[in-house]
Chains A and B, each alone.
Chain A
Amino acid sequence: MILYDKVSKFYNGDRAALAEITLQIEPGEFVSIVGHSGAGKTTLLKMLFAEIVPTEGAVYFGTRDIGGLSSRELLELRRSIGTIFQDFRLLLTKTVYENIAFAMEVAGKDDEDIQADVPHVLDLVGLSDKMWSFPHQLSGGEQQRVAIARALVNQPDVLIADEPTGNLDPINTHDVVEILKKINDLGTTVLLTTHNKTVVDSIGRRVVTLEQGRVVRDDKHGKYIL
C-alpha cells in the first residue's frame, strides 16, 4: 500500500507544486495520473523513491515512512520499485545486457541468476536479438523496452512509469501500454503519468487528475478529462 498523507511541496517561492495531497493506492492497482504540465505529476512520483522530499506531510510505502529511511533502507526501497521515464535513462556506455544485469548486480543477485534472468526478461519485451547492442544503436521504442526490462528484472512491487510513451510513435506506444497492462495483471502495482488520452482511455482503470498541485478528480474507472 502506498499512502500520501497531506503531502505538500514548495520549490523556491510560494506557489505549491503539490498542495495537501492525500492519496491511497492499494497493491495491484493500475493508477493513471493525468494533468497539465506543471500540475505536479512527476513530483508526486519522484517522492516515492525519495528523489524529491515533501516539504510537509509524509509518504508511506507499506508501513514505512519514506522520509525516515536510512540510506541503506532507501537503496532497498529503490530496488523494490521499477522506474521508466520518457527519456529512457539507460546507461549509455553499457550494452543492453549490462544495463539489465547492473540492476540485478546492485540488488546483490549472483551471477547464475543474472545469466538466466536477463535473456528471459529481454525475451519478454521482444529484444533477445539486441542483447549486445548499445543504447544508441536502438530505436526509441527499443530503448524504452530495455528500460522496462530493467524495471521488471528485480520483480518489483511497484512500477513507476513517468510519461513512458512521450517520445514514442503510436505503434510503440501501444506495445508499451500492453506490456504495462500485462505486468499489472501479474500483480505489480503500476503508477503511470501521461498526456496521452488514447492511452488512458484504453486502460480503463483508476484515473487521478491533478490540477495546480491538487487532486481534482479520482475515478475508479476513469477517462482522460482535463
Chain B
Amino acid sequence: MSFWLTTKRVARYGLIGFIRNGFVSLAAVMIMTITLFVVALLLIAGSALQSTLALLTDKVDVNVYFQTEASEEQIQNVQRSLEALPEVAAVTYTSREQALEEFRERHKNEQLMTQALDQLGENPLGASLAVQAKDTSHYETIAKFIETQQALPDGSAISKVNFYQNKTAIDRLTNIINASRTAGFATAIFLFCASLLITFNTIRLAIYTARDEIGVMNLVGAGRWYVRGPFMIAGVLYGIVASLIVLFVLYPVAAWIGPASERFFGSFNVFNYYTSQFPLIFFVIVGLGVGLGALSSFLAVRRYLRM
C-alpha cells in the first residue's frame, strides 16, 4: 500500500476521531493547556530569576584603591595583570580626577564638604580599579591575588582593597544566588514532571475508553500504524490546540503584568520577554504539546495492540 494513501487515511481518521469524540478531546485539551501553561510560566520565571540574579551579581565588585602618588604605569600594570586572570570578568579604571568629580557630585548638597575640598587645594583621592568577577565565589581568589601583587613594585602603590569589609555581604549573596538557582531548578523539574504525568495519564484514559475500538481494528487486520496513527494524530491535535490557547492567553496576561514585573524584578519585563523571545516560547510550547500528545498516544495504544 502506498505510504501517502495510508498517511492520508490515518490523518483523516485522526481528525474525525478528534471531532467526534468531542468530550474526550475537550478534557484532554484542557489538561494539556494547563500543562503547557505551567511550562510557559516556568520558562518565564526561570528567565526572571536568571536576570534578577545577574543584576545582583553585577552590583558586586571589589575595589582596589591606589595611593595618590601612584603612577599611571603602575596602575595600568596592575590592571593588566588582573585582566589576565581567568576569574575576572571586567576591570574598570577610575582616575583621580574622575574620583574627585564623582565625590563632588555625590556631596554637592553638603557645603561643608565642598568647602573643605576647596580649601585643601589639591585632590586628596587616589585612582581605583573596580574588579568584577565572573562569579561571586571568585572574589576571594581575586583578593588573594591582589595581596600577592602588593609585594611587587607595581602593587606597592595599592593603598587599600575593600574585599574584606564586603566579604560577609558577598558570601551571603553568593549563598542566596546559589540556593535560588537550585530551588528554582528543583521546582521547575518537579512541576514539569507532574504536569507531564497528568497529561500522559489523561490521554491514557482517553484511549482506554477506545480500547474496544482498538480490539475491533485488530480483528479486521489493521496494521500497527493504522490503529496507532489516528490516535497519535488526535494527540498532536490536542497539543496544537492547547499550545495555541496558551500562546494566545499569555499575550494579554503578559501585557497586563509587564509593568508590575519590571518594578518588582528591577529590569525584567514579562511582556518584553514574551514579545522578544516569542520564537523560542512558540517552539518550546508547540513542540512540547505536539510531542507530548503524540508520544502519550503512542505509548497508550501500544498496550491494546494484539499482533
Q: Which of A70-78, A201-209, A217-225 contacts B (4 or more CB under 8 A)?
A: A70-78
Chain A 88-114: CB-based contact to B (< 8 A → 1; otherwise 0)? 011111100010001101111011000
In the complex, the answer to whether B216 meets A74 with C-beta atoms within 8 Å is no
Bound Cα distance A162, B29 (Å)? 39
A93: chain B residues at CB < 8 Å are 16-17, 20-21, 210, 213
Chain B 1-24: CB-based contact to A (< 8 A → 1; otherwise 0)? 100010001000000110011000
Q: Is A83 an interface residue (CB 8 A)?
A: yes
Knowing that A106-B217, A106-B226, A110-B5 touch, tell me 10 more A-B residue pairs with CB under 8 angstroms: A49-B219, A76-B221, A78-B218, A89-B215, A89-B216, A93-B16, A106-B220, A106-B221, A106-B222, A106-B223
Q: Is A150 an interface residue (CB 8 A)?
A: yes
B307: chain A residues at CB < 8 Å are 71, 74-75
Quick one: which of B20, B220, B306 contacts A51, CB cutoff 8 A?
B306
Chain B 81-116: CB-based contact to A (< 8 A → 1; otherwise 0)? 000000000000000000000000000000000000
A98: chain B residues at CB < 8 Å are 16
B217: chain A residues at CB < 8 Å are 91, 102, 106
In the complex, the answer to whether A91 meets B20 with C-beta atoms within 8 Å is no
Q: Is A79 an interface residue (CB 8 A)?
A: yes
In the complex, the answer to whether B220 meets A102 with C-beta atoms within 8 Å is yes
Please report the total number of A residues contacting B with Cβ < 8 Å: 26
CB distance from B153 to the nearest CB of A (A): 84
CB distance from A65 to the nearest CB of B (A): 17
A89: chain B residues at CB < 8 Å are 212, 215-216, 219
> Looking at chain B, what size class is its interface with the partner chain?
20 to 34
Binding site for A on B (CB under 8 A): 1, 5, 9, 16-17, 20-21, 210, 212-213, 215-224, 226, 306-307
B210: chain A residues at CB < 8 Å are 93
Asked if A90 meets B216 with Cβ closer than 8 Å, knowing A105-B9, A110-B5, the reply is: yes
A110: chain B residues at CB < 8 Å are 5
Quick one: which of A71, A78, A92 contacts B220, CB cutoff 8 A?
A78
In the complex, the answer to whether A102 meets B213 with C-beta atoms within 8 Å is no
In the complex, the answer to whether A91 meets B213 with C-beta atoms within 8 Å is yes
Cβ-closest chain B residue relative to A78: B221
In the complex, the answer to whether A102 meets B222 with C-beta atoms within 8 Å is yes
- Can you give 22 A-B contacts (C-beta < 8 A)? A71-B224, A71-B307, A75-B307, A76-B221, A77-B221, A78-B218, A78-B221, A83-B219, A89-B216, A91-B217, A92-B212, A93-B16, A93-B210, A94-B16, A102-B222, A103-B220, A105-B226, A106-B220, A106-B223, A107-B221, A111-B5, A150-B220
A78: chain B residues at CB < 8 Å are 218-221
CB distance from B203 to the nearest CB of A (A): 17
In the complex, the answer to whether B220 meets A79 with C-beta atoms within 8 Å is yes
Bound Cα distance A103, B220 (Å)? 6
Chain A 150-163: CB-based contact to B (< 8 A → 1; otherwise 0)? 10000000000000
Bound Cα distance A49, B221 (Å)? 9
Bound Cα distance A116, B23 (Å)? 34
Bound Cα distance A76, B1 (Å)? 13
CB distance from A153 to the nearest CB of B (A): 10
Bound Cα distance A89, B218 (Å)? 11
Bound Cα distance A77, B218 (Å)? 12
A92: chain B residues at CB < 8 Å are 212-213
Bound Cα distance A94, B215 (Å)? 15
Cβ-closest chain A residue relative to B220: A103
Quick one: which of A75, A102, A103 contacts B223, CB cutoff 8 A?
A75
A49: chain B residues at CB < 8 Å are 219
Cβ < 8 Å to B, chain A residues 134-169 = 150
Point out which of B213, B217, B220, B306 has the most chain A C-beta atoms below 10 A from its C-beta. B220
B1: chain A residues at CB < 8 Å are 108
A111: chain B residues at CB < 8 Å are 5
